[in-house]
Amino acid sequence: MVSKYRWLVFTVFFLFMLVHQADKLLVSPLTMPIMEEFRIDEARMGAVYSFAIVVAAIFYPIWGYLYDRYARAKLVALASFIWGSTTWFNALAPNYSVFLMTRGLLG
């Protein structure tokens, strides 16, 4: 029973990370089509990357503190839900503002 649960957890995390990393790694090669889709210039596209870095810089220490203080399994599940949700919303972003916010939240 424990072995099956381990494989289930492994599979869920593997699929999550596969989708998450594919999303992160596809934005750079698709920069020009994204810019054309939202009719934005390079400065606004740069803001997308910068905002994600700023959000990550703010929240990584917070997540680190929480991981040291509370149950990691529940925090990993919460982080996975947040990242998965924002990845999904980012894929459906109808305009630049939503794209910027969801991309930043991926940080």
pLDDT digits (tens, 9 = 90+) for 10-66: 888 788 778 777 777 888 888 999 999 999 999 999 999 899 889 989 988 998 898
The whole-number average pLDDT for the span 81-102 is: 87
Could you give the maximum distance between any two Cα atoms of the chain, in Å? 54
- pTM value is 0.73
Asked if 45 and 35 count as a contact pair (C-beta separation under 8 A), the reply is yes
Helix pair angle (72-91, 96-106), 10° resolution? 160
**Does pLDDT of 6 surpass 90?**
no
**Does pLDDT of 95 surpass 90?**
yes
Asked if 28 and 48 count as a contact pair (C-beta separation under 8 A), the reply is no
Confidence (pLDDT) at 1: 61
Element (DSSP H or E) covering residue 97: helix 96-106
Q: Among residues 85, 86, 104, which one has the least CA distance to residue 46?
A: 104
